[in-house]
Amino acid sequence: MRMVIGLTGGIASGKSTVSSMLSELGAVVIDADQIAREVVKPGEPTLEAIVDQFGIEVIQRNGHLDREKLGSMIFHDAQKRSALNGIIHPAIRERMTERKRQAQERDEDLIVLDIPLLFESELTYLVEKILVVYVPEDIQKQRLMQRDEIDEHTALAKMESQMSIEEKKDKGHAYIDNSGTREETKTQLLKILQTWGYVNNDETKS
């Protein structure tokens, strides 16, 4: 059974772990974060549009985007963040749609669009099923603080810049509780794929 799944979750929920598992199971994973890096490379129209909006100071001497400087400009400014999203999101959406089309033309059985801001960016129409990687908010906060080496205040600000993980959990077709072991996470993933009818890979039948 061919299927297009949207994979999403909250920051520091461990979505990349589930993405890797899906790839190991034979899925074609189209990663929005990777494409986001592609579309702002030197020479890309998206990068030129960012410079027009935010100024040449967001470009490093080597011609690449200064992500840290741009991030500091938009982090506490919703209007600037919205302006940046208005530039980047259409470029990401166009490239992801093209990659999905190419995968479908190759008759790939399982295509996964790995999109952290799937709901926020209103991209749910691109997929047939939505799988949310979930952890309780207290665990999410602790993991984020440890991962990024930041204090609680900064971690909460980052979490609040996205839709809450509880809301995402309720909006998806299924969710994986990723607060346990890797084996527990994989067991949940295989069960969901079986429920959805994807049993092409031998490992999903075990």
pLDDT digits (tens, 9 = 90+) for 21-45: 999 999 999 999 999 999 999 999 9
Position 112 scores a pLDDT of 98
pTM over 0.85: yes
Position 200 scores a pLDDT of 54
* Of 3, 86, 88, 87, residue with least CA distance to 38: 88
* Of 150, 181, 167, 136, residue with least CA distance to 75: 150
d(CA 82, CA 94): 18
Q: Where are the alpha helices (DSSP H) in 9-66?
A: 15-24, 32-38, 45-54
CATH fold, domain 34-108, is Rossmann fold (3.40.50)
d(CA 114, CA 35): 10
Position 28 scores a pLDDT of 97
Sign of CA dihedral 179, 185, 187, 192: positive
Position 204 scores a pLDDT of 42
Position 153 scores a pLDDT of 95
Position 121 scores a pLDDT of 86
Give all strands (DSSP E) within 34-189, no chain letters. Answer: 110-114, 129-134, 174-177
Amino acid at 64: H
C-alpha pair distances (Å), 37 with each of 24, 25, 89, 122, 171: 23, 25, 12, 20, 27
Position 2 scores a pLDDT of 87
**Which residue ranges does the chain devote to CATH 3.40.50.300?**
1-26+110-201, 34-108
Write out the CATH class of domain 1-26+110-201: alpha beta
Position 43 scores a pLDDT of 95
Per-residue pLDDT of the chain (206 residues; tens, 9 = 90+): 789 999 999 999 999 999 999 999 999 999 999 999 999 999 999 999 999 999 999 999 999 999 999 999 998 888 999 999 899 989 999 999 999 999 999 999 999 999 999 998 889 999 999 999 999 999 999 999 999 999 999 999 999 989 999 999 999 999 999 999 999 999 999 999 999 998 654 554 44
pLDDT of 43-64, one tens digit each? 999 999 999 999 999 999 999 9
Ramachandran assignment for 187, one of left (phi > 0), alpha (psi -120 to 50 degrees), beta (any other): alpha
DSSP state of 179: T
The radius of gyration computed from the CA coordinates of the chain, to the nearest angstrom, equals: 18
Please state the φ and ψ torsions of residue 199, each to the nearest 5 degrees: -130, 30
d(CA 100, CA 4): 9
Contact (Cβ atoms closer than 8 angstroms) between residue 25 and residue 59: no
